[in-house]
Structure 1
Amino acid sequence: MSTSSPNILLIYTGGTIGMIKDFKTGALRAFDFKNLLKRIPELQLLDCKIDTISFETPIDSSNMNPEYWVQIAEIIETNYNLFDGFVVLHGSDTMSYTASALSFMLENLAKPVVFTGSQLPIGDLRTDAKENLITSIQVASMQYANKPIIKEVCLYFEYKLYRGNRTTKINAEHFEAFASLNYPDLAESGVHLKINKTYLFKPNLKKSLIVHKNLDTNIALVKLFPGITEVLLNNICNTPNLKGIILETYGAGNCTTEKWFINLLEKTIKNGIHIINITQCSGGSVIMGHYETSEQLIKAGVISGKDITTEAAICKLMYMLGQNISSNVFKTIYETSLRGELS
């Protein structure tokens, strides 16, 4: 790449940020991203060149699924050598899932992939879309000695830049919609854009980008609750083709010690189904064996999800199952931080 301005590719998948209100009818419709500079003339002040690409049919993020994740990954793969950074516009509801998935799919990523969106459409008077978009592009184009400063999948929303696979959507109506409860912010946007360099992911720059497109969705998410029945759990564990279960336990990874429960987990694991223990709490970590109630889980062969988010736990499981990793090393790899998703 030359020393000229960074090239940024803006990828629009759908979501509120790309909507514009028809003031006659009040209906929202997707606007043509080719007209982005007209809508947000401030983008011309940024020292970068912006190209745009849109999903043929923009989707609501509630319809997001692994097939679309592969589409986003392929757009990045195809354009990887032509651009210095990528900004993905996405609906906020499933943004943490997509950002987590992409972090695992893009191995040895050495450029920024910044996810952003908004709570209000771009044409709204009080919209948060402009600031989120402008700063995301600015973050994606930041360089030092002609090399990108950010080299990971991240998420920018309401003045904060987070590691993508550490985020959770915590609010449906505040501008501050996301939180990263177990990992510090990567940057904060105020009068100046303050980068917390200590916390940035440091990939191996000698290795080339590898894009993983095989994700296995034969998994289940089970949230424990007082009174959960054996019949329900038994049915889930005997789902045809099931390969993994994310178990949301109490506090630091605790669960009922009733005999039927522990026996069912042991039997399920013996059948080759991986069970990952994560906490129901928004923040904090699973510490298996800390209490007697989780000691039996260790004996049964349950995998510790440590301080991983539910979103990242699901995406990591889909990614690892798609890799055909042998069962004797599966636990070790899952409990290892691959893209900074675990502390």
Structure 2
Amino acid sequence: MATNSELQTVGGAVADAPPPAQVLVIYAGGTIGMEAGERGLVPGRDFADRMSSALATLPVERRSGLPDYELRESPTPIDSSSAKPSDWSHIAELIAAHYQDYCGFVVLHGTDTLAWCASTLTFQLQGLTKPVIVTGSQRPLGVHASDALANLEAALTFAASDSLREVGLVFGGRLLRGCRTRKIYTHDTRGFESPNCPILGEIVDGDAKLHVDRFLANQGAPRFELVSLPETASVVRLPLWPGMDPALVARWLEMESVRGGVLECWGSGNLPEDAALIGVLAQAVGAGKTLVAVSQCPVGSLNVGAYASGETLNEIGVLSGDDMTTEAAFCKLLHLLSQQLPLPEVRRRFLTPLSGERSTLSVAPDRAPQAEDASTG
């Protein structure tokens, strides 16, 4: 993936009666543009011609309903398993730089980290007044039984909507809220689900059906927060497993470069009744590191305090992620910590819904880390 200055305009447009407005398509890489290599699929180049040729195979009545588009292609498309937070910052910067020039945006990206990309863009591009659609495919464009063309067509269709004002993820004919999605299927063309948020739209018999009542409310003018995210994240992911060694958690949290962590609890917010583990977490919070908790269960939300073991999270100052996905919680925390905000503000904003990433406004635990008053994050 490349910086703004490296992204090059290389694309054409849908020729049949395009509407006057244009969509910017950003090709970052992923399976959708891959080609066969000596050791398997590898990121491909010259995606513009392949995309144009594929769209030309659609029936005339469907082609004529698609918006005109311009394609900007990274000179170094990547497999999304190698994507870094800094790559998504570059995409957000590109969209912001050309925000007034297009009616909507489509980001073509690999599926492995597509939900992470969508979540990052959500927090960097707050207050959108036009759609930003991310998509990819399970099989490369042009191969037998590929889902790529259908996803491209759907993404362009939804990106031209004048009522959608958020980051959406399009896959398998469905429009999902980007910061609510998880990749669930390794091969199935559905690809993604948004377990705690209803779908925002779908393609039905070739037509786009939008559930406008589920869209984010108009938030006024854009308030983009274009944070330069690092290549190496300062947030760690801490899933629980039976018999885990607290010393392993301590090693992660004691690292100077680590400023926060996402604790993946069981059920509604349970963790082992292990004094050593609880001590490690409490020490990290007391040292000014921001810890947040989400559930390993894909459906439902935390109910911290429902069980005695979960109440411990409140007591030591771990923040509730409510029904957020791991991807959204991680990307939101990284986004906030990268802004050098005072720790009380990081905690307040994490608990506040910013772009539909969580269902409820949470209240911070009474016990706040002692380091907050003196720290600037």
| Bin of the TM-score, shorter chain as denominator length | over 0.9
Residue pairs, 1:222-241, within 5 angstroms = 222-241=238-257
CA contact (8 A) 1:99 1:164 kept: yes
Which whole-Å CA distance do the structure 1 matches of 2:20 and 2:180 have between them?
A: 30
Please give the TM-score of this superposition, normalised by the length of structure 2: 0.84
| Unaligned ranges ≥5, structure 2 | 1-17, 360-377
Aligned to 2:202: 188
Aligned twin of 2:150? 131
The yes-or-no answer on 1:84 pairing with 2:100 is no
Correspondent of 1:294 among 291, 297, 310: 310
Q: CA RMSD in A?
A: 2.0
Percent identity reads 34
Q: Does 1:305 align with 2:321?
A: yes
Q: 1:8 to 1:259 in 2, by over 3 A?
A: same
TM-superposition CA deviations, 1:189-240 (whole Å, max 9, x none): 11132211121112422x2342422336211111111101122122122112
- Alignment of 1:66 with 2:85, yes or no, is yes
Q: Closer, same or farther in 2 for the Cα pair 1:28/1:224, shift >3 Å?
A: closer
Any conservation in 2 of the 1:6–1:47 contact (CA below 8 Å)?
A: no
Q: Distance in 1 between matches of 2:63 and 2:355?
A: 33
8 Å CA contact 2:121–2:167 kept in 1: the answer is yes
Q: Which runs of 4+ in 1 moved over 6 A?
A: none
Other-structure match for 1:33: 47
Q: TM-score, normalised by structure 1?
A: 0.92
How far apart, CA to CA, are the structure 2 residues paired with 1:59 and 1:122? 16
2:174 to 156, 160, 165: 160
**How many Å separate the matches in 2 of 1:66 and 1:125?**
33
Aligned residues: 334
| Contact 1:215-1:321 at 8 Å conserved across structures | no
**In the alignment, is the contact (CA less than 8 A) between 1:163 and 1:186 conserved in 2?**
yes
* Structure 1: gaps of 5 or more residues: 143-147
Counterpart for residue 267 of structure 1 = 283
Aligned AA (1:59): I
SS in 2 for 1:161: strand
The question of whether the paired residues in 2 share the 8 Å contact of 1:87 and 1:113 is answered with yes
Aligned ranges 1:11-30 → 2 under 5 Å: 11-20=26-35, 30=44
Q: How does 1:47-66 map to 2 (within 5 A)?
A: 47-66=66-85
Shift in CA distance, 320/197, structure 1 to aligned 2, threshold 3 Å: same
| CA distance, structure 1, for counterparts of residue 75 and residue 97 of structure 2 | 16
Deviation at 1:88, TM superposition (A): 0.6
Opposite residue 98 of structure 1, the aligned amino acid is: C
Q: Could you say which residue in structure 2 is the equivalent of 1:6?
A: 21
Shift of 1:119: 0.8
Aligned-pair CA distance for 1:26: 8.7
Report the CA distance between 1:270 and its aligned residue.
0.7
Measure how far apart 1:333 and its partner are: 1.5
Give 1:174 shift: 1.0
